[in-house]
Amino acid sequence: MKYMLLMQFSEKNADFPKLEEWRPEEIQAHIRFMKETNTGLAAAGELVDAQGLAMPETARIVRSHSGGAPVVTEGPFPESKEWVAGWWIVDCDTEQRAIEIAALVSAAPGPGGRPLDMPIEVRQIMTAPPTEL
Partner 1 sequence: MTSFDPTVEDLLRRLAPRVVGVLTRRHGDFAAAEDAVQEALLDASTQWPAEGVPRNPRGWLVQVAGRRMTEQVRSEQARRRREELVAGRVPADRRSAPGADAVDQGAHDDTLTLLFLCCHPVLSPASAIALTLRSVGGLTTGEIAAAFLVPEATMGQRISRAKQRIKGSGVPFRTPDGAEWPARLDAVLHVLYLIFNEGYASSTGPGLRRVELSREAIRLTRAVHALLPEDAEVAGLLALMLLTEARGPARTGPHGELVPLAEQDRGRWDTAAIAEGVSLITAALPRGPVGPYQVQAAIAAVHDEAPTAADTDWPQILALYGVLARVSDNPLIILNRAVAVAMVDGPAAGLALLADPPRVLTGHHRLYAVRAHLHELAGDPEAAAADYRIAARRTASLPERHHLSLRAARLAARTGE
Chain residues in the site for partner 1 (CB under 8 A): 1-2, 42-49, 91-93, 124-133
Provide, rounded to whole angstroms, the least separation between the CB of residue 41 and partner 1.
Answer: 9
Name the residue nearer to partner 1 (CB basis): 42 or 103.
42
Name the residue nearer to partner 1 (CB basis): 53 or 89.
89
Long-range pairs of 127-130 with CB within 8 A, sequence gap ≥ 24: 127/1, 127/2
Provide, rounded to whole angstroms, the least separation between the CB of residue 47 and partner 1.
Answer: 6
Name the residue nearer to partner 1 (CB basis): 90 or 118.
90
Provide, rounded to whole angstroms, the least separation between the CB of residue 91 and partner 1.
Answer: 5
Q: Which of 125, 109, 127 is nearest to 117 (CA)?
A: 109
Name the residue nearer to partner 1 (CB basis): 21 or 132.
132
CA angle 54/57/63 to nearest 5° reads 95
Coil, helix or strand for 57?
helix
What's the rounded Cα separation, in Å, for the pair 119 and 133? Answer: 37
* 89 and 82 Cβ atoms separated by less than 8 Å: no
Provide, rounded to whole angstroms, the least separation between the CB of residue 48 and partner 1.
Answer: 5
